[in-house]
Amino acid sequence: MPFPRPTLTALRASAMQDITASDLPNADGFLRRSVLRVMAWVQAGLAYLHYGYLDWISLQSTPFTSTAEYLEAWAALAPTPVLREGPQKASGPGTWSGVATSDLPAGTLLTRPDLTQYITLADATVGGGGSVTVTVQAVLAGSAGNTDSGTPLTLSVVVPGVSPVGSASGPLTGGTDLELDPPLRSRMLESYAAPPHGGNQADYVTWALEVPGVTRAWASVGTVGGTVFVYVMLDASEAIHGGFPQGSNGVATLETRDTAATGDQLTVANYIYPLRPVTPIVYVLAPVPETVNVTIDVWSSLSTTQQGQVATALTEMFLQADSPLGTTSLEQSQFSAALNAIGGLPTFAITVPASWPITSAVGSLFTLGTLA
């Protein structure tokens, strides 16, 4: 049974009651500024701090509730050690037009319209077609460096023979922020629950989740022997795209039996490639969004705040319950339970979807469409 931590008010009252019940002379009452009242409050404050410290110790003494460096210590003791993922820099191709044979030096500083900065990673020369493409990387690590294809990139210095304004010729991906405690705890608990088994289906999920930015992963075995399909989502670093990876599906760079992936999918494929058993071909795939429109009969009577809560509740339900493996089947009762958990909503009926259950196709994930 949990131990109820006393409040500061209760501790003050208890301390004054103890003094009143003592054999001290004139201790049967307290003036507003009496020394005894001050002493009682000081003792209560110290006790309250001690209770808080003991409460904190109890949280750090188990993997389920530990935080910060104590969580990292528990994670390092998992069957497969789990380490906090550090921030990563986004990178990808950038293209500029120019005069043939003109050089674009490595380390050239570039600026996005919002002043986010990048640098070129290698020397490059404008080809006969009048353009030059080179890999660029964000100066600062973090998901803010991820950029859509076609975003303007302007040279911060004059480079003779090269146009000052170019663009990302493919998505700049791979930028991630420092991993927070909740996803680190989830990965740690999964490691405790599913120890490594030499490349079984669960191992592919574990490996995918070790890649910075990957927050959800699923694995399935293909109908053709020796193929494994790994679906991934990057809910934080690709939040602007609904968490869906940016790139093309495929295999690792060193896998010669099929076409290499690009972008986020390539990052995951390259990470898994040296870890997998030698024979399987591993395809890393981005789930396809499958929009679900929802109509609630009392929608127009809800406040803006309540409408936002409804959208959040349904999005969270999809995140928790959905899978691209074709195993998702959602009932109307699950939608109702998600909305009833909000509290304060009037009696409602969900009129769309019109038929139940709703099921997602293999390779798809539900996303919230129109709310009305």
| Half-sphere exposure of residue 339: CA atoms within 13 angstroms, side-chain side | 24
How far is the C-alpha of 326 from the C-alpha of 324, rounded, in Å? Answer: 5
For residue 143, what is the DSSP state? G
**Bridge partners (DSSP) listed for residue 365:** 289
Please give the helix or strand (H or E) that residue 140 lies within, else none.
none
The tokens of 14 are what? 């208890």
Q: Kindly list the domain boundaries of the chain, sorted by start residue.
A: 8-61, 91-168, 196-285, 289-371
Q: Are 79 and 195 in contact (CB under 8 A)?
A: yes
| DSSP string across 235-304 | TTTTGGGTT---S--BB-TT-TTS-B--HHHHHHHHHHTTTS-SS-EEEEEPPEEEEEEEEETTGGGS-H
Rounded distance, CA 178 to CA 198, Å? 29
Give the separation between CA 143 and CA 252, rounded to whole angstroms: 23
Q: How far apart are CA 314 and CA 330, in angstroms?
A: 12
Residue environment code for 223-258, b if the CB has 16+ CB neighbours within 10 A, otherwise e: eeeebbbbbbbbebbbeebebbbbbbbbbbeebeee
| Cα dihedral value 263, 267, 269, 270, nearest 10 | 130
- With 0-12 / 13-18 / 19 or more C-beta atoms within 10 angstroms meaning exposed / middle / buried, residue 356 is middle
Residue at token pair 């750090």:
60
pLDDT of the chain along its 372 residues, tens only?
578 889 999 999 898 888 777 766 655 556 666 778 888 889 999 999 999 999 999 999 999 999 999 999 999 999 889 999 999 999 999 999 999 999 999 999 999 999 999 999 999 999 989 999 999 999 999 999 999 999 999 999 999 999 999 999 999 999 999 999 999 999 999 888 888 777 888 899 999 999 999 999 999 987 666 899 999 999 999 999 999 999 999 999 999 999 999 999 999 999 999 999 988 999 999 999 999 999 999 999 999 999 999 999 999 999 888 999 988 889 999 999 999 999 888 999 999 998 999 998 999 999 999 999
